[in-house]
Structure 1
Amino acid sequence: FVAAATQLLHNAINGSSYSAITVGWGWHTQLGNTSYARDNRVVGNAISNSLQLLFDGGDIYTLGSQPGSVLAYNHIRGHGDCPKTAALYHDDGSAHFTDYGNVIQLNASCPTTKVPPWVSMWTHFIHGIRLDGNYADSVNAVNAGTNCSITGTTLIVGDELPPAAQAIVLQTGPRSYTHSQLSPIDLQIGTRRPLRPPSGYVSAYHH
């Protein structure tokens, strides 16, 4: 649960009963605020139809402060009809994440009246999290955090993805190519350079 410099890269996860990926522990307690958790990367994963049974979770779920950690270029599609969930769920005490380039499609699997937030930061104990340049098919986002921001989000209308989002989706999931074929995203991971959002995002709405 408490991890440092862990990389969860290019996995395909389908039909999990609870959260597909969880990182961190400790909520906003002393453990959550002062543990050695940091520099974790959840990048390039293809996640579908999670949260089929249990509630209070996310397709990607975090707890506690994790400076330097990144959730980027993941594709999340489909979601169980469970209460108190979100695609990107930064739960109590989560801090110091940067989330960008994620493509989130929840409308396809949820009744219109029950589409969960594509991101949840539900309490002021969540702090210092920045989301920029993500894609979502819903404007339902929860930000009650302290010094947390959601900017540059592109709204997906229907099933047709913007070209930049489609390019991200095509690079998610397991990979089977040589180093000479690595994408710019993978090269950044391999050299441990800071991941940066691609340019050219068009903002459809802001929070």
Structure 2
Amino acid sequence: MNPLGPIRHTTIGVPTTTHHQVDARTAHYPALLTPDERERIITRCEITGGNHVSGPVAHGGTLTGYPITEQLLGADILNRLWHTVAHASQVTLGWHIPLDTAGFAVSSYGPGDRMGAHIDDDVRGNPPWDLPHRGLSISLPLNGGYQGGRLRLRDADGDWTTPDVNPGDAFVFGTSLEHEVLPVVSGRRWVLLFFAFTNFSQRLIR
């Protein structure tokens, strides 16, 4: 029995460059965080404050980033995130590789904010065709009540696909899969981001 509940996965994505191929599958883990847990993370971020970023940092967009600590997340939530990427890697995606290095942050998007098209391999500052690792990203929306701000990913035909993800759901995809966040029209979008990498010399190639 899967302790994380029902899982939905599909095949999307195309290579983001001509230098490599990407594993195009994704996994969707519903209700990973409770409403109280999500509200607590947002409140703690509002108390500590964030940094508004734009331009290259936001891939041509604008947003407010909140660097967070393990203490802010709490051991239970952090363990669930690790469990999720491990399950996605070993079971849902069938990679069968260890993921042993992590990074996480909270992003907030107000009206007009967006994130331009990018791949998360860039968070290590390496070009995607020369990576000493492969990895998984989790995008976990923390709230609803806003308009716009949808996450989109490239589909197999090179078109954009928008996954149906609810607040508290964990949406998992390979760090070499191109994606973007559309502009927020009204309200404020909060999202928890978790990146897990392996240090082994393997590229995101099937």
Q: TM-score, structure 1 length as denominator?
A: 0.24
Q: TM-score, structure 2 length as denominator?
A: 0.24
Higher RCO, 1 or 2 (CA under 8 Å, sep at least 6)? 2
Q: Name whichever structure is richer in helix by fraction.
A: 2
